[in-house]
Chains A and B, each alone.
Chain A
Amino acid sequence: MPTFTVNGESRQFDGDGDMPLLWYLRDELGLTGSKFGCGAGVCGACTAHLDGEAIRTCVTPVSAAEGKKVVTIEGLDANGDHPVQKAWRELSVPQCGFCQCGQIMQAAALLTRNQAPSDDEITAEMSGNICRCGCYERIHSAVRLAAGGV
C-alpha cells in the first residue's frame, strides 16, 4: 500500500497502484489545480513535483510516489506567493489559464535546480509544456523574472 505525502500531508492509497497520480489527486483528493490535458505526458498541464522534480502526473502511477513527497500547485506556496506565481501575475502571463498551473510547476522545479538558467535552458525546460493560447513569450519572460527571486 503506497504511503507518501501530498502537500505535506501523509496519505495512504489502497487502490490500483497503476492509477495515474493525476486521477488520485483530482478525483480522490479534490486537488483540481493539476489539469488533464493529454493523458500521455506530452502537454504538461498535469505537472506536479515528486521529491522536487517536475513530473507528468497523468503518466506517473500512484505506486511511483511510494515514500516520496508530492507537491501540487495548491501546495507550492501557502499563500500562492511563490516567486514564479508572483512573476506570472506581474507579467499577466495567462490567457485561458488552463495550462498555467503545469507551466508554473515546471518553472518552479527548474528554478529550484538552477537559479540562474540561461535563455536556452529556460526554453529547453519549458518546451514540453504546451500552451494553445500561445503565451510562450510571457512564460519565458516570467521564468526569467522569477529567477531573481527564487
Chain B
Amino acid sequence: MLHYLEKDLKSSTVAPRTVIENVSRRGFLGGALTASGFVLAISTVPASAREALKTYPHGGQGMPHGVVHDPKIFIAITDKGDVTIVTHRSEMGTGIRTSLPLVVADEMEADWKRVKLEQAPGDEPKYGNQDTDGSRSMRHFIQPMRQCGAAMRQMLEQAAAAQWKCDLADVKAELHEVVNTKTGKKLGYGELAKAAMALPVPAVETIKVKKESEFRYMRKGEAKIYDLHDITTGKAIYGADIRLPGMKYAVMARPPVVGGKIKSVKSDATKKVPGVEAVFEFAGPDAPPYKFATVGGVAVVANSTYAALKGREALEVEWDHGANAVYDTDTYTKAMYETAKKPGKVIRNQGDVDKAFAEAKDTFVGEYHQAHMAQAPMEPLVAVARIVDGKVEVWAPVQSPYGARKDIAEALKVPIENVTVHVTLLGGGFGRKSKWDWMLEAVRISEKLNGAPVKLQWSREDDIQHSFYHTTSVERIEMALDDKGKVTGWRHCTVAPSIVSTFAPDSGHQFNIEYGMGFVDMPFEIPNIRCENGEAKAHARIGWFRSVSNLPRAFAVQSAVAELAHKLGRDPKDMLLELLGSDRIIDPKASGFPEDFWNYGEPYPEFPINVARLKGVVNLAADKAGWGKKLPKGEGMGIAVHRAFASYVASVVHVKIDADGTIRVPEVTSAIDCGFYVNPERIRSQMEGAAVMGMSAAAYSAITFKGGAVEQSNYADFQVATMANFPKKVNVVIADPKPENHAGGVGEPGVPPFAPAFANAIFVASGQRLRSMPTGDKLKV
C-alpha cells in the first residue's frame, strides 16, 4: 500500500491523530543538519539581496523519509562548470521535474543554460519522500530546495574567499561565477567546484535565501520545461520507450471482475501464434483487501508486442468471477440515493442541526451524483524488468518509485538494496501511477523467465478495465432556512465506496482523508452543521483520481449554493460570499470538526482554512470574467470556489447552448491562490488542463459496472473531452502571495470548481439543473 497511508489508516481506526501532533515537528530541519558544526560568516554578505531562511513546519517532514536538502545529494558540479541537479519527483505533466531544480539553480545562482537534470531512482532514504501525488511536490520541497541551493551558493562563495584569502564580505556569487567585488576578479563555478564540495554544508540557521526582488528564475515563468525539445522531436523517453538487449514482450489477460480467479485456460492456439514463446498463469490475492497486488491472470510472452497481443486474443480463459460479480451500477446508484436520505455516521457536528430543521421556515434539498471514472492517462501502464544475479532492475513511469521498490523487494523476497527502480517520464498519471500493480506483474514475469528482460505492456482496454477507480458517490445536501432566507442548518450526507477498502477490511465507511476533502472542511458560516457518512461497500478497487473526493464535494456544495440563490432570487456570487461569511480562520474544534481532521497532511496553524482567501479568489475570478455582464439568450455564467491541497481556486465558467442543445464552453476564468509560487507559466498550464479535465469529468467520463465487470473498454466509450468540445479559452489569475501563505498545491486544486461552475452556468443558460455527472454535452431541446 502507499506507505504514507499506513499511519492515516491506523489513526482513523485506532487512535485519532490530533491536529496538534503535526505541529510539534519544528526543529526537524535543524536537527537534520546538526552534523555540520560549520558556521559561515554570512552576516557580511550584502544584506539587500538575502534574508534568513524562515523555516516552518509542513507535512513533508512527516512523510516517510521526510525531506532532504543536502546540496551534496542534489547537486554535482564538474571542473568545467557543468551543473547537474537531481530531480527526485516524478514528471507526469505538472512541470515539477523542471520547477524544483529551477529553485535550486536560482538560489545557487547557477546559469540554467548550464544545468542538466538527473532523474533520481526510487531512493527515499537518500532524497526524501518521492510519492508524487497529493499536489505535494512544491508544497513540501520548496523550502528544502531553496535551502539546498542557498547552501551551495554559500559554499561556492566560501571556497572563493578562501582561494583569494579575502573577506567573505567581498565576494558574491552571480550567474555561475563568484566575483570579488573589491578586485573585480572572477572564479567560475567549475574552478570552485572541488573546494566548495569539500566544505561542510552550512547549518540551517546560517542559510540566507534570496529576497523576491533577486529571483532570477522563480516567479518569472520564462524557463521552458527541460524536456520540451525532446518531447517535440520524439526523443523523450517514457516507460514503453525503454529497450533492453534480448528484451521479451508480455501482455496479460486479467480477471474481468476484481477478485475473480482462473477456472481453466486453453492456450494451445496462443502457443501457435508465431512469436509467442511462453504462457504463464498467476494466481491473484485470495481475498480483499487487494492493495496494490497483482490481480492474477494469464501472461503471454513473445518476441514482439504484436505477437503477445495476438497470443492473448487466442487465449480461452474461463473465469470464476467471485463475490464482486454482484456489482451493478444501476442498482448500486439507486441504493446510494436511498442511503443518503437516512441518518449516517456523524463525522462533523456543530450546533444543533435537528433543532435548526425543526424550527426552519423553509428547507432545501439537493442530491448530487458522480459516476466512477478511470484516470486513463494517455500512456497506458508499462514496465520493463530484469533480474541479473539476484539484482532486480525495473524501469517504469511511476509516481511512487520507492513504495514500488519496497513491494517488489518483498514480493521477490530480495533485500531492498538489490532492487533498483528507474523512473522514466510519465505519459500522464492522475493517480493511476501512484499504484504499482503492473510493476509487480513485470518482475514476476521476468522471474518466470529466469530474469530475462521483459516489457509488460498494458493495452488501453486493460487500463480502462483494471484501474483503481475514482469513487462513485451520492452527496445529499439539506439546508434549513429562517424567515429571512438565512441558512440556519446544513446537513450533508456523503455516500461513496471508500479508498480504504483497497487497503483494509471494508467497513463501508470512508476515512479521514476522504472526509477532509471538501466535506467536513466545508467553510460556510452557518451556525448548525452536521456531516454524515452513509454506508457503501466497495465492489471494485477504489483509488486516487486527480483531486479525489474534492470532485463530488465541490460539485454538490457549490451547485447547492447556486440552487439556493435561485430559490431566494439572489445573485449566485453574492449568495456564495454571504455563505462564506466573515473573513476568518476557521477554528476546527469550535466548528465541530472530527478529532482526526485531515488537513492534507499539513499542520493546521501553518495551513489553516482562511475564508478571506476563498473570498479573494471568488472576487478575482468574477472581476476578471466580467461577472454580471449581460449575455445573449442561451448563454450563462456559473461560479464555484473550493479549497483543496492547501490552495484556493475559484472558477467562472461561461456556457453557450447551441440550437441543437450542445453545451459549449467558450471561456473559463480561474483564479488560484496557492501561496508562495515558483513557476507561473506551469501554474497556468495546470489550470488550463484542469478546466479540460474538469469538463471531461463533468460532461463525459463514466465507468459503469455490470456483473462486476467494467462496461467500457477504450476512449470510444470511456469518453474524455477532445478538441471537438472543450473549454476554448482559459484565463488564469494567480493571486499575489502573502508572506505568511506557504506554497500550496497546484496540480489538483484547479479541477474541482469546474463541474459546479459548469452546471451552474448551464442552469443560467437553459433553466435546466444537472445534478448527475457526467451530464453529457447535449441538453434536451
- The interface of chain A, by Cβ under 8 A from chain B, is 16, 19-20, 23, 26-28, 30-40, 42-43, 45, 72-74, 80, 85, 88-89, 92, 94-101, 104, 123, 126-140
Could you tell me if A133 and B234 are in contact, using CB atoms closer than 8 angstroms? no
Q: Determine the distance from Cα of A123 to Cα of B723 in the docked complex, in whole angstroms.
A: 6
User: Does B241 count as interface, using CB distance less than 8 angstroms?
Assistant: yes
> B227 within 8 Å of A by Cβ?
yes
Is B534 on the interface with A (CB-CB < 8 A)?
A: no
* Cα–Cα, bound, A128→B92 (Å): 22
B114 lies within 8 A of chain A by Cβ: no
Q: A19-B306, A85-B232 are contacts. A137–B728 as well, Cβ < 8 Å?
A: yes
A134 touches B689 (CB 8 A): yes
Instruction: Give the chain A neighbours of B238 by CB distance below 8 A.
Output: 35, 98
Is the CB–CB distance between A72 and B234 below 8 Å?
Answer: yes
> Which of B340-348, B523-531, B690-698 forms part of the interface with chain A?
B690-698
- B274 on the interface (CB 8 Å rule)? yes
Q: Give CA–CA (A45, B427) in the complex, Å.
A: 11
B93 touching A96, Cβ below 8 Å: yes
Chain B residues closer than 8 Å to A72, beta-carbon distance: 234
CA distance A129 to B425 in the complex (A): 20
B458 to chain A, nearest CB (A): 10
- The verdict on A135 contacting B685 (CB below 8 Å), with A23-B304, A38-B714 known, is yes
Interface residues of B in 122-145 (CB under 8 A from A): none
Kindly state the separation between the CA atoms of A34 and B686 in the bound complex, as whole angstroms. 25
Do A40 and B716 touch (CB < 8 A)? yes
Task: Tell me, in angstroms, the Cα distance from A140 to B274 when the chains sit together.
Answer: 43
User: A138 and B688: CB pair below 8 A?
Assistant: yes
Task: List the A residue with the shortest CB-CB distance to B427.
Answer: A98
B461-476 vs A, CB cutoff 8 Å, 1 = contact: the mask equals 1000000000000000
Query: How many angstroms between the C-alpha atoms of A104 and B233 in the bound complex?
Result: 9
Within 8 Å of chain A (Cβ to Cβ): is B378?
yes
**Minimal beta-carbon separation of A10 from chain B (angstroms):** 21
| Distance of A137 from chain B, by nearest CB (Å) | 6
A135 to chain B, nearest CB (A): 7
Contact bitstring B83-102, A, C-beta under 8 A = 1, else 0: 00000000111110000000
Q: Give the shortest distance, in Å, between A134 (CB) and chain B (any CB).
A: 3
A80 to B306, alpha carbons, bound, how many Å?
A: 29
7 inter-chain pairs at a CB distance below 8 angstroms, sorted by A residue, are A33-B233, A89-B232, A94-B232, A96-B429, A97-B236, A97-B427, A132-B430
CA distance A13 to B91 in the complex (A): 36
Known: A32-B240, A74-B234, A88-B232. A133 touches B93 (CB 8 A): yes
**B-chain residues with CB within 8 Å of residue A20 when the two chains form the complex:** 306
* Among B231, B427, B730: residue with most chain A CB under 10 A: B231
| B720 contacts A132, C-beta separation under 8 Å | yes
Does B235 sit at the interface, judged by CB under 8 A? yes
Contact with A along B513-528 (1 / 0, CB 8 A): 0000000000000000
Find out whether the CB atom of A99 lies under 8 angstroms from the CB atom of B378: yes
In angstroms, Cα B457 to Cα A127, docked, is: 26
Measured CB to CB, the closest approach of chain B to A46, in angstroms, equals: 11
* Cα separation A98 to B722 with both chains bound (whole Å): 16
Known: A39-B714, A132-B378, A138-B685. 17 other contacts (CB 8 A): A28-B304, A32-B234, A33-B233, A35-B240, A35-B379, A36-B457, A40-B716, A85-B232, A92-B224, A95-B94, A96-B93, A96-B429, A123-B724, A132-B693, A133-B692, A135-B688, A137-B727
Instruction: Verify B249–A74 contact, CB threshold 8 A.
Output: no
- Residues of chain B contacted by A40 (CB below 8 angstroms): 460, 714-716
Across the A-B interface, the 8 shortest Cβ-Cβ residue pairs: A33-B234, A134-B692, A98-B427, A96-B93, A95-B93, A97-B231, A73-B234, A80-B233
Main secondary structure of the interface of B (DSSP, over half): loop
When distances are taken between beta carbons in the complex, the residues of chain A under 8 Å from B379 are 35, 37, 96, 98
Please give the distance in Å from B657's CB to the nearest CB on chain A.
18
Given contacts A31-B234, A32-B234, A96-B92, contact A131 B229 (CB under 8 A): no
Q: Which of B376, B460, B721, B723 contacts A126 (CB 8 A)?
A: B723
Residues of A within 8 A of B590 (CB): none
Which of B229, B233, B688 has the most chain A CB within a 10 Å cutoff?
A: B233
Q: Mark B78-122, 1 if CB is under 8 A from A, else 0.
A: 000000000000011111000000000000000000000000000
A94 with B715: in contact, given A134-B689, A135-B688, A139-B723 (CB under 8 Å)? no
Cβ 8 A contact of B428, one of A23, A26, A32, A96: A96
Q: A16-B274, A35-B238, A127-B723 are in contact. Are A23 and B306 (CB under 8 A)?
A: yes
**CB atoms of A39 and B460 under 8 A apart:** yes
Pair B715/A130 contact, Cβ less than 8 Å? yes
Specify which chain B residues have a CB less than 8 angstroms from the CB of A140 in the assembled complex: 723
Rounded to whole Å, the gap between the CB of A2 and the closest CB of chain B is: 15
A34 to B236, CA, bound (A): 11
Residues of B within 8 A of A (CB): 91-95, 224-225, 227-229, 231-238, 240-241, 243, 249, 274, 304-306, 309, 376-380, 425-430, 457, 459-461, 681, 685-686, 688-693, 696, 714-716, 720-724, 726-730
B305 and A27 form a contact (CB under 8 A): yes
Q: B728 — which chain A residues lie within 8 A by C-beta?
A: 137
Which of chain B's residues has its CB closest to A105's CB?
B234
Residue from B93, B688, B693, B716 whose CB has the most chain A CB atoms within 10 Å: B93
Q: Which chain B residue lies CB-closest to A139?
A: B723
Min CB–CB distance B243 → chain A (angstroms): 6
Q: Which residues of B contact A28 (CB under 8 A)?
A: 304
Whether B688 lies near A23 (C-beta < 8 A) is no
- A94 is contacted by which of B225, B377, B691 (Cβ under 8 Å)? B225
Contact A35 B427 (CB under 8 A): yes
**Which of A27, A99, A104 touches B304 (beta carbons < 8 Å)?**
A27
Shortest CB distance A68–B (Å)? 20
Residues of B within 8 A of A88 (CB): 232
A56–B460 Cα gap in the complex (Å)? 15
Please determine whether A137 and B729 come into contact, CB atoms closer than 8 angstroms: yes
Min Cβ gap B551→A in Å is 15
Chain A residue at minimum C-beta to C-beta distance from B687: A134
Chain B residues positioned under 8 Å from A16 (CB to CB): 274, 306
Question: Is A129 a contact partner of B723 (Cβ separation < 8 A)?
Answer: yes
Q: Which residues of A contact B93 (CB under 8 A)?
A: 94-97, 133
- A94 touching B723 in the complex, CB below 8 Å, given contacts A35-B240, A35-B427, A37-B460: no
Task: Determine the distance from Cα of A37 to Cα of B240 in the docked complex, in whole angstroms.
Answer: 11
- Cα A104 to Cα B228 with chains together (Å): 13
**Chain A residue contacts of B91, Cβ below 8 A:** 96
Chain A residue with the shortest CB-CB distance to B236: A97
Cross-chain contact of A30 among B243, B716, B729 (Cβ < 8 A): B243
Chain B residues closer than 8 Å to A97, beta-carbon distance: 93, 227, 231, 236, 425, 427
A134-B726 in contact given A43-B715, A73-B234, A96-B427 (Cβ < 8 Å):
yes
- Shortest CB-to-CB span from B253 to chain A, Å, is 15
Candidates A19, A31, A37; contact of B378 at CB < 8 Å:
A37
Instruction: Give the distance to chain A from B238, nearest Cβ to Cβ, in Å.
Output: 6
Instruction: Return chain A residues, CB-CB under 8 Å to B685.
Output: 92, 95, 135, 138
Residue numbers in B under 8 Å from A129 (CB-CB): 722-723
Nearest chain-A residue to B224 (Cβ)? A92
B249 cross-chain contacts in A, Cβ below 8 A: 27
Residue numbers in B under 8 Å from A123 (CB-CB):
723-724
Report the Cα distance A55→B486, complex, angstroms: 60
Residue of A nearest to B689 (CB): A134
B429 contacts which chain A residues (CB < 8 A)? 96
- In the assembly, what is the distance between CA of A40 and CA of B309, in Å? 13
Q: Write the nearest CB–CB distance from B528 to chain A, whole angstroms.
A: 40
Residue of A nearest to B231 (CB): A97
**Given A95-B94, A98-B427, A98-B428, are A38 and B715 also a contact pair (CB < 8 Å)?**
yes
Q: Which residues of B contact A85 (CB under 8 A)?
A: 232-233
Name the distance in Å between A30's Cβ and chain B's nearest Cβ.
Answer: 6
The answer for the CA separation of A137 and B686 in the assembled complex, in Å, is: 12
Q: Contact partner of B228 among A27, A73, A94, CB < 8 A?
A: A94
- Tell me the smallest distance from the CB of A129 to a CB of chain B, in Å: 7
The smallest beta-carbon distance between B774 and chain A, in angstroms, is 16
Q: How far is the CA of A126 from the CA of B724 in the complex (A)?
A: 8
